[in-house]
Amino acid sequence: MSLEKPVPDAPDEVGVTEDGLDYDALEELVSEHVIDRESHVNAEALVIRPDAVQDTLSALKEEAGFDHCSAVTAQEYEDRYESIYHLKKFDDPTQQLSVVVPANKDEPVSESAESVYRTADWHEREAYDLVGIEYDDHPDLRRILLPETWQGHPMGKDYNQNQPQVVPLREHVNPLAEDHSAGEDSDTMFVNIGPHHPATHGVLHVKTVLDGEQIADIDPDIGYLHRNEEQMCEQSTYRHQIMPYPDRWDYTPGGILNEWAYARAAESMADIEVPEYAQVLRTMSAELTRIAAHMLALGTFGLDVYGDFNAIFMYAVRDREAVQNILEDLTGQRLMFNYFRLGGVSWDVPEPREEFFEKIREFLDGLPEYIEEYHNLITENEIFQLRCIDTGILPPEVAKNYGATGPVLRGSGVDYDLRRDDPYGYYDELDWNVVTEDGCDNYSRVLVRMREVEESAKIIRQCVDLLEDWPEDDREIQANVPRTLRPEADKEVYEAVEGAKGELGIYMRSDGTDKPARFKIRSPCFSNLQTLPEMSEGEYIPDMVASLGSLDIVLGEVDR
């Protein structure tokens, strides 16, 4: 059947048993470093010594097969600091383990995991920046989201939000000035790309050192859209106030997909069952947004490799308008849907139902022709192929090490899609395929997105059929959820869904009130963007721009 994942042969990994993970065996494996054990809602957690992070994680990676460090969450308690490494397996993301590293309150230091998982580099920098934990042995521990000169760590407990700050602007020097060449007899030159630049998809700043046309060194500088989303979510109530924020993480629009990430985490924390009818509605609307998001990726990729506001972009926007019209009928908004509620969705499809379904069907019927058009216009175009085939190479092992997910990972031939591997919603009842391409280049990543649009269309069609035939008395759109939600104190949960750009995870810790004590967003774009240097060092600048486009980042989600 299409939905089954090819089973990897002989998993002689520690802790794997017929019915799930054997956490005792895992604890046994690293027993010398373990000081405690905790139970999180999604998985067990091992508390380890702060100076044995590398040993523990590499044992877990090599011998127990946890090859995916999904996220690093840092937080401050009354008496200590804590970093949590959320580990998973690319082969089976339902096998999860959290590794908790406590750190001293007065002098929060723990060992860096960067040498085990490359992805930890940026995650730890973020933890340092926002919470203030220092990581020993980290190659480059400096601020990542906030300006270098920022005072204090805003997600820490004693941060004073009203203190003055000074932010320097050093980037204004003419990039061609002589002093930008690195030394007397060097031929390299330093160039800033962004933060205001048409090819950076918003406000990304890329510091590049060029050797002629080639890139000698590249350093993405982010944080120009760091809108303190985590703080905002921590100040809002579970039940209603948080839900509008996810729409603004990935606004291409991945809105409904993001809402699902929060909904999934909160529902798993508060043990809410979602009615089946609502699951179908969720699945349908989520896939509609996925189409819109991938269309935008395609359109802006057209901008990147062909130039200003061209035909490809216009075609893509035309199709997005069609999707947005449907979504507007369903949710009432074009971009910031706010459609999910905990335990369901806000309302049923609009009356008259037939008309609405007819509208979706009409769009779906037209889609193959449009996709054909795109192929003629883009993928079969010789210039496009020259720009994209064999440029921006990202080998699967490197991609995994960086925690890349979504179309980026699938474009490197890794078969990993949470919709199938860690099922939620109505996906496992439907017939669709996970798309992979094994070219590992810019071209494959674009192809994956285009083929995923077709798969999404398949899913939507099945959902529409289901909704149409659903018995009228049985259309329950929301479970019965209390007006104020107060999960018991000290519940911790990390759940992820497949967003438009990849694995979008939410970590939440409750403290018995109606607001989360810690809310952490694991954004797929953040990890994906980290692979840019791998793809573009030693390549030409235009290839870097193409790679950046094929990564399809959204700065709102990178910076949060």
Partner 1 sequence: MSSEQTPQGDGTGGKSTQEARMGEGVDDRFNSKLRDAFGTSPFILTKFDKFMNWVRGSSMFMLQFGIACCSIEMMHTYSVKHDLDRFHAGVPRASPRQADVIIIPGTIVSKFAPRMKRIYDQMPEPKFVIGMGSCTISGGPFQEGYNVIKGAEEVIPIDIHVPGCPPRPEALIYGVAKLQERIAHGETAPVTVKPYELEEFGDLERDELVQHLADQINEDDLVMRYDWTEQP
Smallest distance, Å, CB 413 to partner 1? 31
Smallest distance, Å, CB 558 to partner 1? 12
Smallest distance, Å, CB 331 to partner 1? 14
Q: How far apart are CA 421 and CA 418, in angstroms?
A: 5
Q: Cα 101 to the chain's mean position, in Å? A: 23
Smallest distance, Å, CB 527 to partner 1? 21
Q: Which residues bind partner 1 (CB under 8 A)?
A: 146-151, 154, 159, 161-172, 195-198, 201-203, 223-229, 231-232, 235, 244-245, 247-248, 251-253, 296, 308-309, 313-314, 317-318, 320-321, 334-336, 555-556
- At 520, is the secondary structure helix, strand, or coil? strand
Is 120 or 130 the residue whose CB approaches partner 1 more closely? 130
Is 290 or 451 the residue whose CB approaches partner 1 more closely? 290
Smallest distance, Å, CB 519 to partner 1? 13
Q: Measuring CA to CA, which residue among 18, 23, 109 is closest to residue 60?
A: 23
Q: Cα 162 to the chain's mean position, in Å? A: 31
Is 172 or 483 the residue whose CB approaches partner 1 more closely? 172
Q: How far apart are CA 11 and CA 17, in angstroms?
A: 10
- What is the side-by-side order of every strand in the sheet holding 34-39? 34-39, 44-48, 97-104, 80-88, 68-76
Is 409 or 521 the residue whose CB approaches partner 1 more closely? 521
Q: What is the DSSP string of 214-251?
A: EEEEEEEE--TT---HHHHHHTS-TTTTSTTTGGGTST
> Which residues partner with 101 through β-bridges?
83
Smallest distance, Å, CB 239 to partner 1? 17
Residue 352, preceding peptide bond in cis (omega within 30° of 0): yes
Is 214 or 333 the residue whose CB approaches partner 1 more closely? 333
Dihedrals phi, psi of 72, to nearest 5 degrees: -125, 120
Is 199 or 463 the residue whose CB approaches partner 1 more closely? 199
Is 199 or 418 the residue whose CB approaches partner 1 more closely? 199
Q: How far apart are CA 155 and CA 70, in angstroms?
A: 21
Smallest distance, Å, CB 253 to partner 1? 7
Give one word for 256, left, alpha or beta, with left for phi > 0 and alpha for psi -120 to 50.
alpha
